[in-house]
Amino acid sequence: MKESLLGKTLAELEELAAESGLPKFTARQIADWLYKKDIYSIDEMSNLSKKTRDLLNKKYEFGTIPPTKVQESTDGTKKYLFPTLQHKFIETAMIPERDRKTVCVSSQVGCKMGCMFCFTAKQGFQGQLSAGEIINQIKSIKEAGEITNIVYMGMGEPFDNLEQVLKSIEILTSDWGFAISPHRITVSTIGIIPGMITFLDKSRAHLAISLHTPFNNERRKLMPVQAIYAIEEVVAEIKRRDFGRQRRISFEYIVFEGLNDSPQHVKELAKLLNGLKCRINLIRFHPVPGVPLKNPSDKVIQEFKDELNRKGILTTVRASRGRDIYAACGLLSTKEIA
């Protein structure tokens, strides 16, 4: 199998140019075609000589993989199905809003974290994605040229595939790459502390942490990761840092009926997040087959939100998108076709 050009950093392309006896500036030209232009083959790199293109074609392929299926929700959200290099499948969601188009990318095939409420978890872990496969989810969708925001909230735990996730962020944010502001990128984690520390040190993208309950026993049941990286330690690590105005820290909180929506939860959340400049995003639970958890009424969610705001925690309710095509939060899975 030929090596893919998509997913290579400028430094890697410079190395490739040197190895192939090409001038150093060829690397920047290739990066331009890969990340700034709307082309999908080496033969379309028209400012490279035919000889250079032939030389590249011998050893490399452009690296884009088109989606094999696209579903569109009644609300305009799209779900793309992509094959991976390991012959598995991943899903990517594109969520259009009035003035933005957000892509929700997957970072792994399936996931090994086993969160109780998550459809991806039911699929188990089937492999890591390369930086190229992550970038492909942005480059190979119909809306590629119109994307304003990128969230790493699809299938997988990004910090369990840290190296490739960081590499993809470097490609997205570098001037030689997509040149997207890191402030338009959010990476969501369940709180893998070592990965989170490296991410915070090495990138300037926003961070979202899946919280779901402030209580240890409850969180252990919902998210096995709590037994290794407790949420108090995750928050303590965040509190040790000064992010200024440049970086946004938010907490994702799926509301489960009668489980994590009580006044005690509000009180404990206020205690946990005291002194931290952050926001809580409340998310409606989308029932997953075989999971005995329920979505509370809109009234309950609104009251919970109001209580948190009264306690001084900026809290919003995230609009539910793409539910009819299983593209909503926690509903991505390729179990059936993997």
* Structure token pair of residue 140: 């190979």
Phi-psi region of 217 (alpha: psi -120 to 50; beta: other; left: phi over 0): alpha
Exactly one of 91, 133, 157, 252 is catalytic; name it.
91
Looking at beta carbons only, is 208 or 249 nearer to ligand SF4? 208
- Smallest gap from residue 15 Cβ to ligand SF4 (A): 34
Q: Kindly write out the interface string for residues 188-227 of this chain, putting x where it contacts ligand SF4 by CB under 6 A and - elsewhere.
A: --x-------------------------------------
Looking at beta carbons only, is 180 or 211 nearer to ligand SF4? 211
Give the number of C-alpha atoms closer than 13 A to the C-alpha of residue 62, restricted to the C-beta side: 20
d(CA 287, CA 295): 7
Where is 151: in which H helix or E strand? strand 149-152
13 near 27, Cβ under 8 Å?
yes
* Structure token pair of residue 43: 């033969």
d(CA 188, CA 210): 7
d(CA 32, CA 10): 10
252 near 281, Cβ under 8 Å?
yes
Looking at beta carbons only, is 72 or 237 nearer to ligand SF4? 237
Looking at beta carbons only, is 28 or 318 nearer to ligand SF4? 318
45 near 32, Cβ under 8 Å?
no
Residues of this chain, 100-139, that bind ligand SF4 according to CB under 6 A? 111, 113-115, 118, 120-121
Number of residues that bind ligand SF4 (CB under 6 A): 11
d(CA 257, CA 36): 46
Active site (annotated) includes residue 329 = yes
- Smallest gap from residue 306 Cβ to ligand SF4 (A): 26
- Smallest gap from residue 153 Cβ to ligand SF4 (A): 8
- Smallest gap from residue 251 Cβ to ligand SF4 (A): 14
- Smallest gap from residue 78 Cβ to ligand SF4 (A): 20
Residues of this chain, 137-166, that bind ligand SF4 according to CB under 6 A? 155-157
d(CA 103, CA 92): 7
Looking at beta carbons only, is 102 or 123 nearer to ligand SF4? 123
Query: Read out DSSP for 153-192?
Result: -SSS-GGGSHHHHHHHHHHHHSTTTT---GGGEEEEES--
Active site (annotated) includes residue 170 = no
- Smallest gap from residue 329 Cβ to ligand SF4 (A): 9
113 near 160, Cβ under 8 Å?
yes
291 near 255, Cβ under 8 Å?
no
Looking at beta carbons only, is 76 or 114 nearer to ligand SF4? 114
Exactly one of 111, 115, 278, 329 is catalytic; name it.
329
Site residues (CB under 6 A) for ligand SF4?
A: 111, 113-115, 118, 120-121, 155-157, 190
Catalytic residues: 91, 329
